[in-house]
Chain A
Amino acid sequence: MQIQLTINDKAQSFECQPHETLMRVLRREGYFSVRYGSDSGETGAAAILLDGKLVSADAMLAAQADGHLIETVEGLSRGTNIHPIQDAFVRTGAIQSGYSTPAMILAAKALLEKNPNPTEQEVRDAISGILDRETGYLKPVLAILEAAAVMRGEEPSEIVPNVLTPITLPGGDLFDYGDRGGDDFRSGDDGSMLRTRRLPKFIVSDEVPETKVVGKPEIKVDALKLVKGNPAFVDDVELRGMLYAALLTSPHAHARITHIDDSEARNLPGVHAVLHYQNVPRVRYASGGQTWPNPKPHDQVSFDNKVRHVGDRVAAVAAETPEIAYAAVKLIKVTYEALPAVFDENEAIQEGAPIIHDEPDMEGAYDPQHNISHFIHAQVGDVEQGFAEADQIFEQQFYVHQVQQVPIEPHICIGYWDSDERLVLRSSTQVPFHARRMVAPLLGLPIKRIRVIKPRIGGGFGAKQEMLIEDIVGHLVIATGRPVRLELTRQQEFMSSRTRHPQTITYKTGVDTNGKLVAQLMTVVGNTGAYATHGLTVQTVTGLRGLSSYNCPNKKFECKVVYTNIPVPGAYRGYGAPQALFALEAHMEDIAVALGMDIMEFKRMNWVQVGDPLDIAPHLGEGEAEVTVIPIIKSSGLEQCVLQGMQAIGWHRRDDPSWKLDPERPYIRRGIGFAMCMHGTAIPGMDMGGASIKINDDGSFNVLVGATDLGTGSDTVLAQMAAEVLGVPLEDIIIYSSDTDMTPFDTGAYASSTTYISGTAVKRAAEQVREQIKERAGLMLKLDDWSNVDLRNRQAVAPDGRALSLGAIALHSLHTQDQRQIMATASFVSPESPPPFAGQFAEIEVDIQTGQVTVKKLMMAVDCGVAINPITASGQVEGGMVQALGYGHCEEMVYDADGRMLNPSLGPYKIYRADEMPELEVVLVQTMEPSGPFGAKAVAEIPKDGVAPALRNAIYNATGVQINRIPFTPERVWTALQAAGVN
């Protein structure tokens, strides 16, 4: 059918099918800012303006738009001349991956045209249809309020860091705190406070040297293209003759496939390939994107004759259109022999439980007959002796559940043969180099015939730290000779992607008469689902984080990693630490209360401090790497983090009955909770990053890094480091990342490693380039000694004051005399993993009659060393806290008795919207980490660690009831309150 659309003021006529969505037609016509998030509109990634109103283009027919006016973000700018809303998003740091940024900008446009002076809540309401897993919504709201002010004619706000005064201790007693007043406990509902709140807040360390570019709130290097909606993501390319792939997945949790009849599917016109276990070579592998050699067991093949969870792969189709591909999938006849299934990790290890990996070619599992993929054991001191000497012993069990990362951009990969007949995989991956190495043997191709390109990614959070769909796309490209595109549906993203490991965690802790820990035993049964992938390493990190935060002379970790028939857990931001810290921080809280001690005093007397060894770390190295040196903590801002948090949250109120009760609502109890957080920075001895830098004719620099920017801003902070060393502004750095043909190797985006590992590589490469520039300046200026030449303001400045522009030096080096390319490559592997620290606080209300928990405020004070870019760093914390809020409060994957997920869509699987957010506050507490580039430590994952235990402890503070299982959904809380007689 023919439809008439006026898109961005241009009337156009389009041919479309009656069933086609508006999103599909717009993307086909080149409006790539309209992006897929789901088939039913909840993500808002495909939002456009229809007659000036925000609607989801993925949930309406193109035919319904016939005759209407459409606006997309492509219509808002011309060249670098961007709309004030776009400008505000750029300046305030409201963009992370940028996948849904165009939708937010359009939402803002619709709002501001109707209401030029909106309140904060009105802004939040306007973007309530656009889900964001990255920013916590704080900076987008700030950007819209800022844009509103500018569009009203006000001057743009100066977005500068808000430097706070460190809290010093009255009378030298850390806990003689009282009411220090402090700044805002709560922002006003009218939004005025948010706009006037300069971001981010931070505490400055005297030890940090002055810098020009590092440590400054620079604008993200990719902000302009993202804010304009430029084609930057995997799907934003057009390839002639591209086929569309679709997956057939298992309806059974556990079954043997006895036969597949694909004849009808193959005979469907438009179908080019149907692949399954009968026609794809059986090559074993482990899908976790990890350093070579991938940890065993290698328990997967591309297509198996057995399925081990609902959503497991059965077959794949490539066809001319998505509709034909989906139709062909339905025509594949699979004969299953259903097998008994087991979902609970504790049941799976019992005698007689179904054996999930009974295949004869299974390699490297610890005890597959009992579904145990790994057994992990680590000990320091003598735990039994420690318990024997303890004054009191406490033992508790905790349960943490399964959640999904929910990147708004699902997994997507487009593969094709290039002109050299090499396979190119354009993939939304966090680990392009691992993916290339891992996919090669599955496809029967040498690594050198494969190129993996990672364009912009619409979020990953660990879900894309896998070689997950690249093998399917590669097989289909080989089978058809045509370009092939495979994108997971939202349901498949839940069921056939990766998730967080559920665990049953038991802590047993002995303390002496003073409250000092003397023995701690942590026992974990980790549920790795159908395949082990990251099962070993996630659980190892659980032990490391669960037994490192507090000093204790006798520690022991025992863990069984267990196969079950749930969809596969893997890497998820935090990587075993959120599980551990939920249990640990709840356990420590309860011990303090049981001992009658102040919680902060008890934790502080036990938590690790500068100079303390992380003595269990050598016994819990990730993967197969051995760490032989006991790491020592060299920097910690934890105490200042805790003080800042106590002030910001109003800690004194937790013991004030007049605050905890609400006379107007007698069923409400208020509470405040705390969790101490310590994370790691990269995997010592294993994570490696490489960087290459070269000068251009004009004195600008190309920086090539293997590091993978997921939207975190790593390209920006790496470029800032290069700019700092080379004495140029950030705009003179052209950074290109994550292309296996073009950039140096990098392990990828995980383990909070990029700033620290890849950053050091960049810094080292830049330092080598700086030396070459200085030498060239010495040649040009006829200096006998060029060691004191300084690079600043785009110049090389000699000690005598003479200066050469970097452009002149580049031209001289490239064209004039003793020609050579000024360039250098460097790499870095760290023997250390300096921990960032944080204090996480939560204020909540509990309705004791319904069990509903309402989170009023989350506050995190973080020591991430020197934040290379305070805006991107605080954005990481804000977004991470909100993901962590979902983990503790409302997100859960729920199954029926047969292992079918009951809520594989957004809504039933609940993630927070902009209009229901608690207040967020972040303080960056600067420390100087001597091993980090410019003093930096990690910041990406620590925000995931403390929210769940802080909520739990706040509920305990509010009601006196300990709930040791998450999430804190109404019925779970109500049941616990009822059992405790609180109602």
Chain B
Amino acid sequence: MISQYFRPKTIDEALQLLIGTKNKTMVLASQLLPDTQLEETVEAVIDLQAVGLDKVEAHAGGLKIGAMTRLQTMVDDGIICDFTKEATHAESSSTFRNMQTIGAIVMNSDPESRLVATLLVLEAHLTILTVTGVSDVSLSEFLAEKESLLNGGILTSITVANDGKTASAHVSRTPADKPIVAAVGRQDASGRTLLALAGVARTPVLVEPREIDALEPPGDFRGSSAYRKQMAQVLSQRVLSEIG
């Protein structure tokens, strides 16, 4: 049960708290609490709401999004492209978009998150602050080795591309339901095509079209492994055909 609550004013202060707290500590990167089970195992929380990581700004031809930027802020932002906005909007309902942050979405990396798949094709890079310094890792690498790359640090921002020809397709039980499988594609200015899939692995993944046959998706009651694999093919074809 949570017995201590901290609200640091700077990211350095947050880092020091994270290092110094001996209890089982969770960083609250969102107003939305993780599930109850997690809450019961946590003894202290460090709430990052006051550290100022909630800006969206142009950066090196793309965007830099503070990790504490709420999803609704991204939807309402003037410089984020429509494609990213749409994926952000589709991630959650109205209440949750006001509570969830992009950092929490990345850290959670739900296997069926269309938004995380979108960030993958936008070639997202993460800035992680640790006591030893700042590291920059690609989202794709991070999803593969989250714990080791986080290394006890705090995700501070995400840089993404903000251009290209894009398309997405998904299958779900109802229009706003979480996708069973989603395919997201982007062709950058150089003509290079990136394809990401959600719902086919333990996190969304970047794939080459020829690799889809080799996927072995985990199945559940919404879609068996075989079904998900077939949908990966169908939806990828639609996306690739749309972006040419």
Q: Interface on A for B, CB 8 Å cutoff?
A: 1, 18-19, 21, 39-42, 44, 47, 50, 53-56, 59-61, 63-64, 66, 107, 125-130, 323, 847, 849-852, 854, 889-890, 892, 894, 902-903, 907, 910, 912-913, 915-916, 969-971, 974-975
Q: Which residue of A has the minimal Cβ distance to B30?
A: A60
User: What 1/0 flags go to B201-243 for Cβ under 8 Å of A?
Assistant: 0000000000000000000111110010011001100000000
Are A56 and B2 closer than 8 Å at their CB atoms?
Answer: no
Are A125 and B231 closer than 8 Å at their CB atoms?
Answer: no
Are B234 and A850 closer than 8 Å at their CB atoms?
Answer: yes
B132 located at the interface, meaning its Cβ lies under 8 Å from any Cβ of chain A in the complex: no
**B-side contacts of A125, CB under 8 Å:** 89, 94
B193 located at the interface, meaning its Cβ lies under 8 Å from any Cβ of chain A in the complex: no
- What's the Cα separation between A850 and B180 when bound, in Å? 10
**B-side contacts of A889, CB under 8 Å:** 173-174
B39 located at the interface, meaning its Cβ lies under 8 Å from any Cβ of chain A in the complex: yes
**A-side contacts of B234, CB under 8 Å:** 849-850
B95 located at the interface, meaning its Cβ lies under 8 Å from any Cβ of chain A in the complex: yes
- What's the Cα separation between A126 and B235 when bound, in Å? 29
Are A890 and B176 closer than 8 Å at their CB atoms?
Answer: no
**A-side contacts of B177, CB under 8 Å:** 890, 910, 916
**A-side contacts of B220, CB under 8 Å:** 902
Tell me which residues from 1 to 40 in chain B have a Cβ below 8 Å from any Cβ of chain A.
Answer: 1-5, 7, 28, 31-33, 35-36, 39
**A-side contacts of B92, CB under 8 Å:** 129
Are B28 and A18 closer than 8 Å at their CB atoms?
Answer: no
B171 located at the interface, meaning its Cβ lies under 8 Å from any Cβ of chain A in the complex: yes
- What's the Cα separation between A922 and B78 when bound, in Å? 40
Are A18 and B4 closer than 8 Å at their CB atoms?
Answer: yes
Q: A19-B39, A902-B221, A969-B173 are in contact. Are A64 and B178 (CB under 8 A)?
A: no
Are B221 and A54 closer than 8 Å at their CB atoms?
Answer: no
B151 located at the interface, meaning its Cβ lies under 8 Å from any Cβ of chain A in the complex: no
Q: A850-B231, A969-B173 are in contact. Are A129 and B94 (CB under 8 A)?
A: yes
Are B223 and A890 closer than 8 Å at their CB atoms?
Answer: no
Are B95 and A970 closer than 8 Å at their CB atoms?
Answer: no
Q: Which residue of A has the minimal Cβ distance to B180?
A: A970
Tally B residues with Cβ within 8 Å of A.
45
B175 located at the interface, meaning its Cβ lies under 8 Å from any Cβ of chain A in the complex: yes
- Checking B4, B32, B172 against A970 with a beta-carbon cut-off of 8 angstroms, the contacting residue is B172
Are A890 and B31 closer than 8 Å at their CB atoms?
Answer: no
- What's the Cα separation between A915 and B227 when bound, in Å? 27
Are A970 and B49 closer than 8 Å at their CB atoms?
Answer: no
Q: A59-B32, A128-B93 are in contact. Are A913 and B98 (CB under 8 A)?
A: no
- What's the Cα separation between A854 and B170 when bound, in Å? 13
- Checking B3, B5, B97, B178 against A61 with a beta-carbon cut-off of 8 angstroms, the contacting residue is B5
Are A970 and B173 closer than 8 Å at their CB atoms?
Answer: yes
Tell me which residues from 74 to 104 in chain B have a Cβ below 8 Å from any Cβ of chain A.
Answer: 89, 92-99
B163 located at the interface, meaning its Cβ lies under 8 Å from any Cβ of chain A in the complex: no
Question: Shortest CB–CB separation between residue B124 and chain A, in angstroms?
Answer: 25
Are A18 and B32 closer than 8 Å at their CB atoms?
Answer: no
Are A18 and B5 closer than 8 Å at their CB atoms?
Answer: yes
- What's the Cα separation between A975 and B35 when bound, in Å? 34
**B-side contacts of A64, CB under 8 Å:** 28, 31, 47, 49
- Listed by A's residue number, 11 A-B pairs whose Cβ atoms lie within 8 Å are A42-B93, A53-B98, A107-B94, A125-B94, A128-B93, A847-B171, A852-B173, A890-B174, A902-B221, A915-B176, A971-B223
What are the 5 closest A-B residue pairs judged by CB atoms, nearest first?
A129-B95, A129-B93, A916-B176, A19-B2, A916-B175
B127 located at the interface, meaning its Cβ lies under 8 Å from any Cβ of chain A in the complex: no
Question: Shortest CB–CB separation between residue A118 and chain B, in angstroms?
Answer: 12
Are A18 and B224 closer than 8 Å at their CB atoms?
Answer: no
Q: Which of A19, A50, A126, A128 has the most CB of B within 10 A?
A: A19
**B-side contacts of A902, CB under 8 Å:** 220-221
Are B227 and A39 closer than 8 Å at their CB atoms?
Answer: no
B157 located at the interface, meaning its Cβ lies under 8 Å from any Cβ of chain A in the complex: no
Are A55 and B36 closer than 8 Å at their CB atoms?
Answer: no
Q: Which residue of A has the minimal Cβ distance to B70?
A: A53
- What's the Cα separation between A650 and B31 when bound, in Å? 47
Q: A18-B3, A894-B221, A970-B180 are in contact. Are A852 and B172 (CB under 8 A)?
A: yes
Are A971 and B224 closer than 8 Å at their CB atoms?
Answer: yes
Question: Shortest CB–CB separation between residue A489 and chain B, in angstroms?
Answer: 9
Known interface pairs A54-B98, A852-B173, A916-B174; 8 further A-B residue pairs with C-beta atoms within 8 A, sorted by A's residue number:
A39-B36, A40-B35, A44-B95, A50-B31, A129-B92, A852-B171, A913-B176, A970-B173
Are B33 and A60 closer than 8 Å at their CB atoms?
Answer: yes
Are A61 and B94 closer than 8 Å at their CB atoms?
Answer: no
Q: Which of B1, B33, B93, B235 has the most CB of A within 10 A?
A: B93
- What's the Cα separation between A903 and B173 when bound, in Å? 14
Are B176 and A60 closer than 8 Å at their CB atoms?
Answer: no
Question: Shortest CB–CB separation between residue A23 and chain B, in angstroms?
Answer: 11
B156 located at the interface, meaning its Cβ lies under 8 Å from any Cβ of chain A in the complex: no
- Checking A19, A323, A971 against B222 with a beta-carbon cut-off of 8 angstroms, the contacting residue is A971
- What's the Cα separation between A280 and B99 when bound, in Å? 45
B118 located at the interface, meaning its Cβ lies under 8 Å from any Cβ of chain A in the complex: no
Q: Which residue of B has the minimal Cβ distance to A103?
A: B95
